[in-house]
Structure formats: C-alpha cells, structure tokens
Amino acid sequence: MSNWNHKHIIDLSTFSVRDYETILELANRFKALPQKGPRKLPALQGKLIANLFFEPSTRTRSSFELAAKRLSADVLNFSANISSLSKGETPLDTALTYISMGADILIVRHESTNLPSELASYLDKSGEETSILNAGDGLHSHPSQGLLDLFTLARYFNPEKPLPNALSNKKIAIIGDILHSRVARSNLWALTGCGADVILCGPPSLLPEDFENFVKEPPPGQTIDPINKRGKVLINRSLKDALEDIDAIMTLRIQKERMNNNLISSLERYKQDYEINHQRLKWCKKNVPILHPGPVNRDIEMSGEILDDKSYSLVREQVENSIPIRMALLYLLSSKKQT
Ligand code: CP
C-alpha cells in the first residue's frame, strides 16, 4: 500500500481515484475471506483501536469493533453516557486519555462539525502518531459510510471487478434530507470522484439550491481538486423526474433530532411526497437498487415492503460491506508512509 498517504480520515474531499481504488481493492480481498470458521487475520496484532462515540450508533460502532477484532487489534469502547463527560471532561481530554492508554487509532463520532479535524490538528501539532478516523461529525462528513456505499454500488454494477470505474457515467439519485446529511456529503465527494452524476431530490427546506455547487470548487483548504474530472451534481425537485433514467437510488433518514425549525410540515406529508415504494419504482428503469445508510424510519423514507425486498433493497448488503471496508481503513491507517 505504498501509495497510501493519509494519516487521518476526516472527509473524502481530499481522496484521489487511486485512494478509492486502494480501499476498494483491499475491501474486496477482505470480503473474499471465508465467512465460516476462524476469520481473524494477524495484521493489527498489538494495535489498540478506541471507539469514541459521543453520539449514538448501532452499525458504525459495531462494525468498526468487528473489523478491528477480525484484524486481531485490541478494542476499547467509550460510551458517552457512562463516561466522565458528565463530570466536565472535554472530548480532547477524553481523546488524550485513550492515547495515554496506547491507542493507535481513535474512531470519533461527535455532534460537532469539525471536532475530528480539530483533534487531528492538535495531535499533529503535538507530535502524536495516533490517527483520527471520523465516524460522523455533525453535518460535515461520514467518510466510512460514503466508502461502504461506494463499495456496495461498485459490487452491484460490476460484481467481477468492483472498482471505482464501475461508477463511471452512472446516475445516482439521493432523495430526502440532504441538508442534515453527512452521509450525502460524503457520497457527493465519493460518487462524483468516481465519475457518477448525482441527482438530488428533496423539499427546498431540506435541499438548498447551493448543493448544486457542492463539488464545483476545490475542496475546503485546497487549491486543486485531487480528482481530474468529477461527475455532475444536479437538483431535480420532482421525484418522478428525478427517478427517470437513474441507475440507483439512495434514500436518507429524516433526522428528527436535528430538525429544529419546522423544516417539514409533517412526516405524513414528507411520506406522501418522497417515500420510495413499489408504486414509485414504476417510474424507474427495471430493478433499480435502493440504498439507505440506516437507521431507517420505516414507511417514511421507504416502505417497509421495499426495505425487506432483497430484489431492490441493498440495505442489508451495505451493512455486510461495512465490515470489509472498515477493515481496509483500519489496515491502511496502521500501515506506514503517512504525511
Ligand atoms: N449509518 C450509520 O451511521 O448508522 P449508525 O448511526 O447506526 O452508526
């Protein structure tokens, strides 16, 4: 993995096509390991991974733990509600506590946008070798989710060779609460970076117009985009039109916990306008796959029937693929040649 040069994984705006290739190639190798019998590889023996989740999680936290254990790392799980945060400890001091215990990688989820990048800068300035892996920060970024979505789509479009070019010239619709979605932002970087066009659809309150420019400028803090030719981002307010001619649909959770300005009149109204169900799939090409990062509000973003219908829904496959993708990320951060 001599071309890998990321010490931390904060967002996907700095990733090149070669980075995506490296991750997907490695995830493919981990995915091909036997699913029964002894499944541990010695690659991260002696490494300590700390899961610092200041916000709730089911799948991200558990799959990072499983990924670390499959690579023989030791794992510490921090739970905000039984921690010393209630006594006034700051996230920085929590992080430093785990570093003092020998953590090689801190996997951080926090409600504050940019907390993982601030921790990474602090560690770099202090000469600490520990890596930060962002597991979701505020509205900003959820890179490992973007990568597992990319992997799932690449496997769907080209099962024999699920690499970034499997996405080239595909059209992916992302539907719903884009405004609050760090998953959508990470997918915008990853999908356009691999040559797909993204069609966004949602109500204006949850999908501001300027999302069309999201990937047009060089990423924040950079003078050039590491991707030569990105796919386009388009907004289409009509669900029927947005679904026409697309190759895959990604629906997003309505984030009730971040919705503080009556941005939608009611969940029932949202369901009427945007729920993906069997009726609406008639607007699409045949057998269009449907992704959702989870957790799903059943019968709001997508009908329970579609969610459970494996001929359409890739949701369970996304969870399965999260393990080899997160194994790949932990492996790469533990390998050296980092800047
Ligand atoms: N997709 C996702 O981040 O799910 P969790 O909140 O359960 O980790």
Helices (H), 101-234: 115-125, 143-157, 182-193
List the chain residues with pLDDT less than 70. 1-2, 258-261, 336-339
Name 123's Cβ contacts closer than 8 Å, sequence gap at least 6.
95, 99, 130, 132
| Residues at CB less than 6 angstroms from ligand 1 | 57-60, 136, 145, 293-295
Distance in angstroms (rounded) separating the CA atoms of residues 253 and 136: 14
pLDDT of residue 305: 96
pLDDT of residue 14: 93
Decide whether 12-141+319-338 matches 144-318 in CATH topology.
yes
pLDDT of residue 1: 60
- CA 9, 72, 318, 272 dihedral sign is negative
Class of domain 144-318: alpha beta
pLDDT of residue 3: 84
pLDDT over 90 for what percent of the chain?
Answer: 85
Helices (H), 101-249: 115-125, 143-157, 182-193, 239-243
Name the closest-CA residue to atom 7, ligand 1.
Answer: 58
**Among the four given CATH numbers 3.30.1220.10, 3.40.190.80, 3.40.640.10, 3.40.50.1370, the one describing domain 12-141+319-338:** 3.40.50.1370
Gap from CA of 145 to ligand 1 centroid (Å): 8
pTM summary value: 0.95
pLDDT of residue 336: 63
Each domain of the chain, given as residue ranges in start order, spans: 12-141+319-338, 144-318
CA 56 to centroid of chain Cα atoms: 15
Mutate to test the pocket of ligand 1, among 60, 77, 144, 250 (most ligand atoms within 8 A of CB): 60
